[in-house]
Structure 1
Amino acid sequence: MAQQSITEEGTSLILPTKAPREPRSSMLSACFNFINSIIGSGIIGLPYALNQAGLPFGLLLLIIVGVITDYSIILLIKGGNLSGSNSYQSLVQNTFGFPGFLILSVLQFLYPFIAMISYNITTGDTLTKVFQRIPGVGPDHILAERHFVILLCTFLFTLPLSLYRNIEKLGRVSFLSMVLTLAILVIVIIRAATLGPHILPTEDAWAFAKWNAIQAVGVMSFAFICHHNSFLIYGSLKQPTLANWSRVTHISVGSALIISTAFAVAGYTTFTGYSQGDIFENYCRDDNLATFGRFCFGFSIITTFPLECFVTREVVSNVFYSRDLTKAEHAAITMLIVIVCTSISLAYDCLGVVLELNGALSATPLIFIFPSACYLKLSPGRWFQGGNLIPVMLMIIGLFFMITGLTMTGLYHLDCSHGEEMFYCADRNTSGTVPPG
């Protein structure tokens, strides 16, 4: 096993790594991959998160989740340097032994795997509405059938992209996904100006805070989690130093926070208390601009799918293999993951409860608990002193949100509704405006 020397502030740290992979990615390419990893399907639920928490308090929570994400990602890599680890799994194994490794592997596999299922379902629900705007494509057309659209996108896009062996090759695809995300943001802002004034705000639209704020944190955590990709993107850097990684993290999380905040505010101020979990369900079917936004979002999450597949494949490789995968093994494992994921997304079209459980059970430990626990065990000094105080607080907060989130998910189930037109669509035209009165 090769070794890689990483220098920070004059101290040489030797980290065991797998055989070097070429070509390496630049910091800019790494930022594109990281931002694309953060801004996935979760962004369309952020207006709904503000609806749950209240606009002012929701914005505060969104900023806090972003700051915690930034801090814990760097903490994760610092823990890797302290333990000589080059992956999230090896870090936990070196810190807590095989039991910790096994628990982390299950969580790290489940989160991106379920995310891929949600990407497929969103692709099917979103692109079918896009295709129905094509002349001659009605509700009974094959392009309006979600199962066909999911299979078509899988064979043409997600499977071929997922078969790449090196994550750095997705840099250009991730850049395209970022451009599409910015286009979606512009569309949401335009509709906030043209459609929003014609929809009367709900009674508590501008309340400072609401009781569902804890559930809102779960939605935000689901939107921001990217820790399962951290070591992969860190290892793809041409110069994987902690200084370079900190810059990549700050730029990526900061950019994602700005985009997410703008998207959440524009979406929520348009629909206020009517905001749904998928903001595109709030727009009317005959809204041409929203249809273009649906297309951009559908294509964007298609390009995000391979990043999550990289993680699931890496977890399988680390658990069952002690070497790099051969080309045949790589292809076989990738195809198995994609086939199982696609099969589940074809069988189920409502994953609201599953995604809430995924956020509370997987996202919260991966963001709050494991990075902090590993760093605390590896770093010198007492837990409640100096630099260890913040990780301790993150662990306590993570445990609180995990237990509370699981409890609330068990007590309050989300209803699923697909394709229902909102009341304000009855008297509107394709330009996106609703006549007053």
Structure 2
Amino acid sequence: MNKQAVLGCFFLCLFPQQNDDEGTALVAQKAAGDTRSSMISASFNFINSIIGSGIIGLPYALNQAGLPLGLLLLIVVAFITDYSIILLIKGGNLSGTISYQSLVQCTFGFPGFLVLSGLQFLYPFIAMISYNITTGDTLTKVFQRMPGVGPGNILAERRFVILLMTAAFTLPLSLYRNIEKLGKVSLLSMVLTLIVFIIVIIRAATFGPQILPTENAWAFAKSNAVQAAGIMSFAFVCHHNSFLIYGSLEQPTIANWSRFTHVSVGSALIVSAAFAVAGYATFTGYTQGDIFENYCRNDNLATFGRFCFGLSIITTFPLECFVTREVLSNVLFSRELSKAEHAGMTVLIVAACASISLAFDCLGVVLELNGVLSATPLIFIIPSACFLKLSTGCWFQGENLIPSILIFIGLFVMITGLIMTGLHPQDCSHGVEMFYCLEPNISGTVPPV
């Protein structure tokens, strides 16, 4: 996901606040670098911030919820995302603020700022853990396609691969102080994600028919729908970019922003739904949290997809680390870090993520936890609470009705999802070759290479 705009939000907090809509937009534009974006250009950036690495877990979300209910939930999450993004900008106009952080601090004071900072730290931090887990699961299978690298080779050991990628790539890239040096990462990640999307679609048509559907594969609903909603929320979080992109529009008005948001989120929904359905329809009840865990090791097209996704993850990790470090420095120091402090904090963050990912290797559970613990309040609860605090009138009346409902829905998803994830953790393949890769299927053929 594109996290460059996140840092603009922190920079925006340094500028004086204005109370009118146009003034707010102009201040945001100044923080964004005095560059105006066309509706198409801004929409592309926004879609890019949604369709990122989180898309890889959407087929698993359909496995958790059931295909029909899962698609319905995906639409609902997209609608709530669309609505809450618009609600954020309305709240900014009401309070004269120009960032998510300053909006929450204006409405709920310093305690609210700390809560939001905690969530904005937790979201990318858990995301980095999930990136390490995915790197370990994905690249080990890529390495095993190399001559001389078998299952017992050190390059086939996920813990070694995680440590190797951390030392060779993610830590050095994360040590950059200027995010502009990572400016091409977002475009590269977008291209790689598109390649992964195409590969999943191709394999749905060529590999899916050879795998018999599981029992109740097409059932309307399954028991883990709440966890599925958390995974979908994780995939759709993009609120940190809202104020910066709003200020970059040629005509930053609520009406234009609403149209822009509808187009962006709608487009992201179409791509996400197609990816989720293609992935789930291929493997039905066998679908893993990382869809590439389902493909056979001898599948060359899937191996190329694993390589593309692993590279995308490695190049996205530093952007998440930048956000995590920025949140910590703002809360703990409230000043620019020295070189030693910058390096020390970066090493601690990367080391903590690596340590947890070495001990925990089930991606589906990590996606569920990040969804219910951080993404759900960032989408459902906080934008609605800020708007209700700033608006006049009673809850559940007029324009306050939907925000009031969203708060209760968000609380339900958080509490229920956390309990169900703890009581009923999902099984993972943990890198084990799936049975249909080892045995001929009912037609007497083996999966194609």
Q: Secondary structure at the match of 2:150?
A: coil
How many angstroms apart in 2 are the aligned matches of 1:334 and 1:258? Answer: 37
Please state how far the C-alpha of 1:333 moved relative to its aligned partner: 3.2
Name stretches of at least 5 consecutive residues in structure 2 with no aligned partner: 1-13
The reply on whether 1:256 has 2:268 as its aligned counterpart is yes
1:404 is matched by which residue type in structure 2?
T
Q: For residue 306 of structure 1, what is the aligned residue in structure 2?
A: 318
Where does 1:35-54 land on structure 2 (aligned, <5 Å)? 35-54=47-66
1:285 is paired with a residue whose SS is coil
The answer to whether 1:72 aligns with 2:90 is no
Which one of 409, 420, 437 corresponds to residue 432 of structure 2?
420
Deviation at 1:358, TM superposition (A): 2.9
Aligned to 1:162: 174
In the alignment, residue 236 of structure 2 is paired with which amino acid? F
Q: Distance in 1 between matches of 2:312 and 2:263?
A: 20
Of 139, 145, 156, the match for 1:144: 156
Mapping of residues 330-409 of structure 1, within 5 Å: 330-350=342-362, 352-409=364-421
Matches within 5 A, 1:265-284: 265-284=277-296
Secondary structure of the residue that 1:408 maps to in structure 2? Answer: helix
Check if 1:241 corresponds to 2:220. Answer: no
Query: What amino acid does structure 1 have at the position aligned with 2:15?
Result: A
Q: What is the identity percentage for the equivalent residue pairs of Structure 1 and Structure 2?
A: 77
Alignment partner, residue 209 of structure 1: 221
How far 1:247 moved relative to its partner? Answer: 6.1
**Residue 420 of structure 1: how far off its partner (Å):** 1.8
**Partner SS state of residue 152, structure 2:** coil
Closer, same or farther in 2 for the Cα pair 1:7/1:85, shift >3 Å? Answer: closer
The letter of the residue matching 1:370 is I
Is 2:317 the partner of 1:317?
A: no
Match of 1:125 in 2: 137
Q: Report whether the alignment pairs 1:134 with 2:146.
A: yes
> What stretches of structure 1 move > 6 A for 4+ residues in a row?
4-7, 14-19
Aligned-pair Cα RMSD in Å? 3.2
Residues 353, 414 of structure 1: 8 Å contact kept: yes
SS in 1 for 2:23: strand
Give the match's secondary structure for 2:227: helix
Could you tell me the TM-score, scaled by structure 1's length? 0.86
Which ranges in structure 1 are unaligned for 5 or more consecutive residues?
A: none
- Specify the alignment match of 1:3 in structure 2: 16
Quote the Cα distance in structure 2 between the aligned partners of 1:118 and 1:210: 24
- Give the CA deviation at 1:33: 5.3
Shift of 1:330: 4.2
Change (3 A) 1:30 1:136: farther
Residues of 2 paired with 1:240 and 1:165: CA distance? 32
Please list the CA deviations of residues 73-121 of structure 1 after superposition, one character each: whole Å capped at 9, or x if unmatched: 2322332333233433332222112222222222221121011111011
Aligned to 2:308, which of 293, 296, 299?
296
Mapped to 1, the partners of 2:297 and 2:24 lie a distance apart of: 56
Partner residue of 1:188 out of 174, 196, 200: 200
Aligned residues of 2:117 and 2:327 also touching (Cα < 8 A): yes
Q: Deviations over 1:295-315 (max 9, x none)?
A: 111111222223322321231
1:209, distance to aligned residue in structure 2 (A)? 2.5
Q: Is the 8 A contact 1:40 1:304 kept in 2?
A: no
| 1:62 CA drift (Å) | 0.7
3-state secondary structure, aligned to 1:222: helix
The one-letter code matched in structure 2 to 1:269 is A
SS across alignment from 1:203: coil
- Alignment partner, residue 13 of structure 1: 24
- Conservation of the 8 A alpha-carbon contact between 1:162 and 1:306: yes
Measure, in 2, the Cα distance between the counterparts of 1:326 and 1:34.
32
Which residue of the other structure, out of 85, 110, 122, is the alignment partner of 1:98?
110
- The DSSP-based 3-state class of the residue aligned with 2:298 is coil
Q: TM-score, normalised by structure 2?
A: 0.84
Q: Post-superposition shift, 1:233?
A: 5.8
Q: Which moved more, 1:85-94 or 1:401-410?
A: 85-94
**Greater mean deviation of Cα atoms: 242-251 or 293-302:** 242-251
Size of the alignment, in residue pairs? 430
Shift of 1:422: 1.9
Give how far 1:289 is off: 0.7
CA contact (8 A) 2:18 2:97 kept: no
**SS of corresponding position for 1:13:** helix
Post-superposition Cα deviations, 1:332-357, rounded to whole Å, max 9, x if no partner, equal: 43343223222332343346545433
Match of 1:222 in 2: 234
Bigger shift: residues 91-100 or 190-199: 91-100
In 2, distance between residues paired with 1:257 and 1:171? 25
Q: Distance in 2 between matches of 1:306 and 1:33?
A: 18
Partner of 2:24, secondary structure, is: strand
1:154-174: per-residue Cα shift (whole Å, max 9, x none)?
344333443455556645321
Find out whether 1:113 has 2:125 as its counterpart: yes
